[in-house]
DNA sequence: GGCAGACTGGACCGACCGGTCTAGACCTGT
DNA sequence: ACAGGTCTAGACCGGTCGGTCCAGTCTGCC
């Protein structure tokens, strides 16, 4: 099982998990290495800039998974609200399963040593999510302005609700997000 | 100016500022000490449990300031929406001034070493905010269920918008929060 | 077989981490 | 003057941090 994935992917996977629950600064390189069952040399071979590079890769992977979640939620929906509801319920389930972690992008990238490249990457990923939702909103007949407003509102509600859910350790508030759209 | 405040308050002030912008794990004790112009002995005299105690105190102070901001925003308002609008604009201004930091509670308490006491404190502070807003909502005639829903919605929107504002380094999204209530 | 490059393994480094400890400065009441 | 508590001051500690370095191993190609 350990070698089911190549070392590089195991590192990203481990980093994604650990950063998500303890934040960039809350996880040591040694911890990631132990979780990924990889030696130090491998890390610095695959990611020359070490922890920082790995963090970006981990955030990118997390972002891709979120994008996929959005896509499948809206693919089978019959309305914007229906898609949003499916997405929120899927996120609530994920929230329960992973044990109340934070938004992986925020945890990984909004703490980095120098904000410049990290923050830019984070912004790009967030805009990617909003853009994806926006496309679906347009597909359901909303005009450009409405689609942008709706997708932004959904993003904001999910982020805020996730935070409150984490504080309360209760995913209910996430499930109730679509009711307020 | 350095001694305008007693050492303990200077420590809390410095910790609040630094934790808010770099997170609990992103700030070293030495850094806080330098900012507060205090020696190590003073820290461990005023806060026997060191960094952890200081973090809770800093979060508490930040929470109190937020509570005050809510109070004055709604005090002079003529409707719930009016108060929410004032609050959001005040927060946007604060956001611009402090330079795109995170929610101080989240940054300080949701990364702590063991989640138990930190998370409980954070939850309590969040509930305090929501409770305060809820009181004002009731005052404007909303029934209990409506007041709770409205205050929770406002909290969620502010948290989510703040996060997006941080990623974009632009407080506009915060100012637009009340439009969606 | 022999070679080159990709990758692994881990010893090692200086810097910094949070925390302890003791010495003394300072204030207050007697 | 003295005593006792409060607070300041910073040297010092073991541990851990992220990162470097290089010898060794595996792989595919000639």
Tell if A10 CB is < 7 Å from nucleic strand D.
Answer: no
Distance of CA B77 to the CA centre of its chain: 22
Residue B115 pLDDT class (50, 70, 90 cuts)? confident
Q: How confident is the model at residue B2 (pLDDT cuts 50, 70, 90)?
A: very low
Mean pLDDT of the region A113-117 = 75
The reported pLDDT for the residue numbered B48 is 94
* pLDDT (average), residues A143-171: 96
B155 to A160: CB separation less than 8 angstroms, yes or no: yes
Torsions phi, psi for A141 (to 5 deg): 100, -5
Structure tokens at B69: 């901001």
Q: Which nucleotides of D are covered by protein (CB under 7 A)?
A: 7-12, 16-23
How is residue A114 annotated by DSSP?
A: S
Q: Which burial class, exposed, middle or buried, applies to A154 when counting CB atoms under 10 A from its CB (0-12, 13-18, 19+)? A: buried
B120, closest residue in chain A (CA to CA)? A167
Q: Judge whether residue B1 has pLDDT over 70.
A: no
- Best mutation target among A105, A130, A164 (most B Cβ atoms within 10 Å) is A164
Close Cβ partners of A55 (under 8 Å, ≥ 6 residues apart) = A15, A19, A24, A108, A109, A112, A118
pLDDT in tens, B119-143: 999 999 999 999 999 999 999 999 9
CA distance B181 to B173: 13
Q: What's the average model confidence in pLDDT over A74-86?
A: 96
**Mean per-residue pLDDT, A77-97:** 96
What pLDDT band is residue A2 in, cutting at 50, 70 and 90? very low
**Å between B4 CA and nearest CA of chain A:** 31
Mean pLDDT of B42-48: 95
Give me the residue label for tokens 């109190």.
B64
d(CA A86, CA A92): 10
Is this structure's pTM higher than 0.85? yes
Give chain A's mean pLDDT.
93
Residue B97 forms contact with A (CB below 8 Å): no
Substitution target in A167, A178, A179, A180 with the highest count of B β-carbons within 10 Å is A167
């Amino acid at each position: 099982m350990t070698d089911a994935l190549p070392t590089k992917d195991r590192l990203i996977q481990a980093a994604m998990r650990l950063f998500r629950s303890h934040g960039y600064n809350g996880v040591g390189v040694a911890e990631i290495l132990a979780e990924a069952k990889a030696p130090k040399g491998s890390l610095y071979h695959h990611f020359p800039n070490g922890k920082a590079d790995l963090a970006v890769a981990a955030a990118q992977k997390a972002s891709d998974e979120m994008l996929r979640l959005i896509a499948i939620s809206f693919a089978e929906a019959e309305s914007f609200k229906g898609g949003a509801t499916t997405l929120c319920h899927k996120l609530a389930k994920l929230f329960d399963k992973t044990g109340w972690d934070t938004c992986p992008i925020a945890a990984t990238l909004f703490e980095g040593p120098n904000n410049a490249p990290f923050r830019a990457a984070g912004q790009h990923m967030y805009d990617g999510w909003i853009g994806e939702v926006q496309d679906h909103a347009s597909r359901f007949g909303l005009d450009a302005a409405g689609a942008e407003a709706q997708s932004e509102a959904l993003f904001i509600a999910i982020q805020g609700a996730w935070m409150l859910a984490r504080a309360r350790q209760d995913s209910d508030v996430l499930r109730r997000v679509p009711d307020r759209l």
